[in-house]
Amino acid sequence: MLKVNEVSKLTGVTARTLHYYDEIGLLKPSVTTDSGYRLYDDAALERLQQILFFRELDFTLDEIKKIMQSPNYDRHEALRKQEELLLKKRERLDRLIELVRKTIKGENAMSFKEFDMSEIEEYRRKYADEVRERWGDTEAYRESLRKTADYGEEQWKTIARKAGDIFRAFSEIRHLSPGSEEAQALVKRWQDFISANYYTCTKEILAGLGSMYTCDERFKKNIDAFGEGTAEFISKAIAVYCAE
């Protein structure tokens, strides 16, 4: 666990900024001691890293909060995009370094294209639009934001464990028909779980989630970690449930 001043030294984020992030619910300390000290663990530092990444893309703090508290937020996908952006920046720096070397050698290097930021800026805009579309602001997300604002680390761990229990239960009956009584009862349990912990999960929203579980490879991979074919089984069971 690191104190505020230690996190500040490690990350370059001021203590005042960390306090503000805590106040608005963007980055809560992992533990607040009886003496009032804010302590941050590795999970909190990882979240801070993601916040700084989105700040690099010029997202507002309000937007970042809504995106990262969306139940559909995929941290690994965000990191993959971060890597792509950094590679673009590295390519530009490599071109600038080469231009400097040519200039030092006295070569005729009256070139300015290496200073061009248009490619990186275009990439930033493209990714920003994609993120807003995927994890952006809807009524469901606003409700999720309100409901999850005060969740602490232990509560998030409990929610993750309970979600895993439901996916595991689906996996254990995936040999049955998606329309079976057991499967339909689990779909109802999953719908109630989402409503209780995130937002009111209507059949319309549930149907969209069911489709995403198989169409989006990241969700499919995560769910199939409980057993090959689990994602497809859940998707089919949800389709039956929502058709009624």
Condensed to tens digits (0 to 9), the pLDDT of residues 93-132 reads 787 787 777 777 766 554 445 445 555 455 555 555 555 5
- 140 located within any domain: no
Condensed to tens digits (0 to 9), the pLDDT of residues 1-56 reads 899 999 988 888 888 889 888 888 888 999 988 888 899 998 889 889 888 877 87
Q: Containing domain of residue 157, as a range? A: 151-243
Give how many domains the chain has, as a whole number.
3
- 7 located within any domain: yes
**Last residue within a domain, chosen from 95, 111, 135:** 135
So what's the pLDDT on residue 110?
Answer: 47
If asked whether residues 42 and 82 sit together in one domain, one would say: no
- 219 located within any domain: yes
If asked whether residues 174 and 239 sit together in one domain, one would say: yes
CB 102 within 8 A of CB 109: yes
- 67 located within any domain: no
If asked whether residues 223 and 169 sit together in one domain, one would say: yes
If asked whether residues 89 and 172 sit together in one domain, one would say: no
What's the CA angle centered on 241, arms 239 and 244, to 5 degrees? 105
So what's the pLDDT on residue 114?
Answer: 45
Question: Distance between CA atoms of 4 and 41, rounded to whole angstroms?
Answer: 11
If asked whether residues 106 and 177 sit together in one domain, one would say: no
So what's the pLDDT on residue 192?
Answer: 94
Condensed to tens digits (0 to 9), the pLDDT of residues 163-214 reads 889 999 999 999 999 999 999 999 999 999 988 888 888 888 888 888 878 8
CB 76 within 8 A of CB 70: no
Domain holding 27: CATH number? 1.10.1660.10
- 126 located within any domain: yes
Question: Residues near 97 by Cβ (< 8 Å), separated by ≥ 6?
Answer: none
Domain holding 233: CATH number? 1.10.490.50
The structure's pTM equals 0.48
If asked whether residues 35 and 107 sit together in one domain, one would say: no
